């Protein structure tokens, strides 16, 4: 079983959206092969997803209302098959907490060679449009991530 863990700051906006989007996009053939979760470098355990994150995900038919934040720990990082960070600062933080973890961590925005800014913008405290932009950015990158996961773990994948 491969565990993909998304990491952002509070585990209330970007990483829960990424978790929901990837979970919904997983090919049926991966059902027994891949699990998806998320955590935050500065999360308050048990906090719900931000209301605007829940709202914009709901606009696309994804329900993340049951999400509860958790603080990323060395144990979470070490058990993961792949850690997907939303921003460079998260990579730095996780490498400091778990030396050597860089071997199984990637920056989500780094999968798109056309991007100027590799970080996925944090919508916290922003407008509804900021949350929609983050959701749509993550959705675009999810397609690239699926291909990356298929290649890295030798899983069957037919890209769209």
DSSP state of 116: S
DSSP state of 110: G
Task: Provide DSSP, 37-100.
Answer: EEEETT--TTPBPPHHHHHHHHHTT---TT-B--B--HHHHHH-SEEEESSHHHHHHHHHHSTT
* Catalytic (active-site) positions: 8, 14, 122
């Amino acid at each position: 079983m491969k565990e993909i863990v998304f990491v952002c700051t509070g585990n209330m906006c970007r990483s829960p959206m990424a978790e929901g989007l990837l979970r919904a996009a997983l090919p049926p053939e991966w059902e027994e092969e891949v699990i998806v979760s998320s955590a935050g470098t500065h999360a308050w355990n048990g906090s719900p997803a931000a209301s605007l994150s829940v709202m914009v995900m709901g606009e696309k038919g994804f329900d993340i209302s049951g999400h509860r934040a958790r603080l990323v720990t060395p144990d979470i990082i070490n058990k993961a098959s792949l850690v997907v960070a939303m921003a460079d600062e998260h990579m730095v933080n996780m490498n400091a907490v778990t030396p050597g973890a860089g071997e199984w961590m990637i920056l989500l925005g780094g999968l798109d060679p056309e991007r100027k800014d590799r970080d996925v913008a944090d919508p916290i405290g922003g407008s509804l449009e900021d949350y929609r932009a983050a959701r749509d950015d993550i959705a675009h990158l999810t397609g690239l991530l699926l291909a990356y996961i298929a290649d890295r773990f030798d899983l069957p994948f037919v890209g769209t």
